[in-house]
């Protein structure tokens, strides 16, 4: 005779039952535990083995004191408006903990049958008004999608792992499940877009297309024109490169500017506007300055012989773009930009981003029985308390002590073993501060149009730093010892040969 099936559910961590049993919502909600050292797993295991009831002191809920600098005249430290989780870089680590039990008297633990591919995990969901959004996809294709049911996983939802931990109770052993909350993925979670029902697919970007054709065609022609002249008027490599450049341009026009591509055929109608100007440039311009076929004819030949060119065989095109007019790359770039903007239109405004402080998340524990079918669906817990994820540079975050160790071996041979890996990343706002600071406006560093990168990287060999310091020390010692030498007249005897 088989026992009747019984429901399985998630409840809060077993050590918190004595204080949570009087509140139904708290009893069924997963708890978030906070640790402030890198040895948080060792601390958790030791507490569960020695005094599980002490786990309640690590539970985080509601607003917490802020670690930011106090404002002038502020006596008491400020508090966050809501629960905020800090990153491991700030020295904080968070675990979500819950117990999977059978709904029977005493709430016995429910065993997970891993032989039948059962598993325990948790999901992080974004809060959008009254909806919950599930994280779908992998890598750069991740998106937030609204879930149809709160008690079920969305198709393709990202499931994070949980691991079992044992704890001692009088007379028996219990088990709870815990998982590391991915606070360090705040940038990735914040950047994932939200799927909107009925939203149109993102339009092509004019700047992206221009960057693509500029690298494949315009810049390639400039490189051919700027190389050192070879011994012979032209080389086979230059002719082959010219064939691929013409084929890339023809392929781009066929895909993105089809009206221009069709107008290059003999007798075809010329389009108006910027596309017509591009057609005029290609029809009038020649591949080899004043000789050779026109660009329109060369593009048509390259398109007809595409299979031959891709296979690496010689075709009928023997022109070398190194001999094209020097002004051609700039004129071609401007004509392509005008035609693309005419076809695609202006750049769409970027979607409004939600501030980090206004983006809320929650956690749900999941018990999966993948081979049981619809008769035994996945078991999801109730939602944890809502929280926000602190950014890497958050004024409320604690300042983690930073220790930089210098090399033990200060010899030249020892210092030369270290790689040059000093990198400083500057935001746009910080870059503007640096270029506008009065202390930097001297002959050594001034604002220039070339200083437009979001990150600044530099490398200084350690041997150079040590040699400079040693040079100044030796100069000081020599000056101290031999400063009187200019006042001494040294006479050497003059030797005579007899």
* Mean pLDDT of all residues belonging to the chain: 78
**Cβ contact 221:289 at 8 Å:** no
Is residue 2 domain-resident?
A: no
Question: Which pLDDT score is estimated for 4?
Answer: 52
**Would the pTM count as exceeding 0.75?**
no
**Statement: residue 394 has pLDDT above 90:** no
- Examine the domain organization and report whether 373 and 239 are in the same domain: no
Is residue 472 domain-resident?
A: no
Using the 8-state DSSP alphabet, how is residue 2 labeled? P
- Examine the domain organization and report whether 121 and 224 are in the same domain: no
- Examine the domain organization and report whether 151 and 242 are in the same domain: no
Neighbours of 61 (CB within 10 A): 13
**Cβ contact 5:336 at 8 Å:** no
State the pLDDT confidence band at 286, using cuts at 50, 70 and 90. Answer: confident
- Examine the domain organization and report whether 169 and 294 are in the same domain: no
- Examine the domain organization and report whether 269 and 372 are in the same domain: no
Number of domains in the chain: 2
Q: Could you report the per-residue pLDDT of 443-480, keeping only the tens digit for each?
A: 444 444 444 444 444 445 666 777 788 888 887 777 77
Give the Cα separation of 413 and 477 in Å (integer): 24
Is residue 120 domain-resident?
A: yes
What stretch of H or E contains 123?
strand 118-128
Question: Which pLDDT score is estimated for 178?
Answer: 93
Neighbours of 292 (CB within 10 A): 18
Question: Which pLDDT score is estimated for 133?
Answer: 92
**Cβ contact 257:338 at 8 Å:** no
- Examine the domain organization and report whether 147 and 18 are in the same domain: yes
Domain that holds residue 135: 8-198+357-389
Long-range contacts of 221-229 (CB under 8 A, 24+ apart): 221/245, 221/321, 221/324, 221/328, 221/329, 221/332, 222/329, 224/320, 224/321, 224/322, 225/321, 225/322, 225/324, 225/326, 225/329, 227/322
The pairing of beta strand 388-389 with beta strand 423-425: unpaired
Q: Could you report the per-residue pLDDT of 119-174, keeping only the tens digit for each?
A: 899 999 999 888 899 999 887 778 899 998 888 888 888 899 999 988 866 556 78
What stretch of H or E contains 177?
strand 172-180
- Examine the domain organization and report whether 94 and 225 are in the same domain: no
The last residue of a domain, from among 344, 375, 410: 344
- Examine the domain organization and report whether 171 and 22 are in the same domain: yes
What stretch of H or E contains 169?
strand 163-169
Q: Across the chain, how many H-helices and E-strands are there? A: 15, 17
Q: Could you report the per-residue pLDDT of 48-65, keeping only the tens digit for each?
A: 888 888 888 898 887 777
- Examine the domain organization and report whether 155 and 61 are in the same domain: yes
Is residue 334 domain-resident?
A: yes
């Amino acid at each position: 005779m088989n026992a009747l099936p019984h429901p399985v559910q998630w409840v809060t961590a077993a050590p918190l039952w004595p204080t949570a049993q009087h509140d139904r919502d708290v009893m069924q909600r997963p708890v978030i535990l906070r640790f402030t050292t890198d040895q948080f797993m060792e601390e958790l295991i030791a507490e569960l083995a020695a005094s599980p009831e002490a786990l309640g002191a690590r539970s985080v809920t509601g607003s917490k004191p802020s670690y930011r600098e106090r404002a002038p005249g502020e006596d008491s430290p400020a508090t966050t408006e809501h629960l905020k989780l800090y990153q491991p870089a700030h020295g904080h680590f968070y675990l979500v903990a819950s117990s999977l039990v059978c709904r029977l008297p005493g709430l016995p633990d429910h065993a997970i049958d891993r032989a039948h591919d059962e598993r325990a995990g948790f999901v992080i969901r974004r809060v959008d008004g009254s909806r919950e959004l599930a994280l779908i996809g992998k890598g750069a294709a991740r998106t937030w999608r609204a879930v149809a049911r709160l008690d079920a996983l969305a198709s393709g939802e990202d499931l994070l792992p949980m691991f079992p931990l044992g704890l001692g109770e009088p007379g028996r052993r219990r088990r709870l499940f815990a998982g590391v909350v991915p606070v360090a993925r705040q940038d990735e979670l914040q950047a994932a877009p939200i799927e909107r029902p009925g939203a149109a697919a993102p339009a092509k970007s004019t700047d992206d297309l221009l960057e693509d054709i500029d690298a494949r065609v315009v810049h390639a022609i400039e490189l051919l024109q700027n190389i050192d002249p070879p011994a012979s008027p032209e080389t086979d490599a230059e002719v082959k490169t010219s064939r691929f450049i013409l084929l890339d341009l023809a392929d781009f026009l066929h895909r993105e500017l089809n009206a221009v591509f069709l107008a290059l055929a003999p007798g075809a109608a010329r389009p108006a506007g910027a596309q017509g100007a591009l057609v005029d440039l290609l029809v009038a311009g020649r591949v080899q300055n004043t000789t050779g076929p026109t660009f329109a004819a060369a593009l048509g030949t390259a398109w007809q012989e595409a299979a031959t060119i891709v296979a690496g065989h010689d075709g009928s095109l023997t022109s070398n773009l190194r001999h094209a007019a020097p002004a051609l790359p700039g004129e071609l770039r401007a004509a392509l930009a005008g035609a693309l903007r005419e076809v695609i239109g202006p750049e769409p405004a970027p979607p409004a981003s939600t501030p980090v402080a206004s983006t809320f998340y929650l956690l749900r524990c999941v018990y999966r029985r993948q081979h049981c079918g619809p008769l035994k669906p996945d078991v999801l817990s109730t939602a944890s308390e809502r929280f926000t994820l602190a950014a890497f540079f958050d004024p409320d975050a604690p300042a983690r002590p930073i220790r930089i160790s210098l090399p033990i071996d200060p010899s030249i041979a020892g210092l030369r073993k270290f790689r040059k890996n000093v990198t400083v990343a500057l935001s746009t706002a910080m870059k503007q501060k640096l270029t506008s600071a009065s202390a930097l406006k001297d002959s050594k560093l001034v604002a220039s149009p070339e200083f437009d990168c979001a990150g600044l990287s530099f490398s200084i060999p350690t041997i150079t730093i040590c040699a400079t310091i040693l040079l100044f020390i030796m100069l000081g010692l020599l000056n101290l010892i031999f400063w009187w030498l200019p006042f001494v007249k040294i006479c050497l005897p003059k030797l005579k040969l007899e």
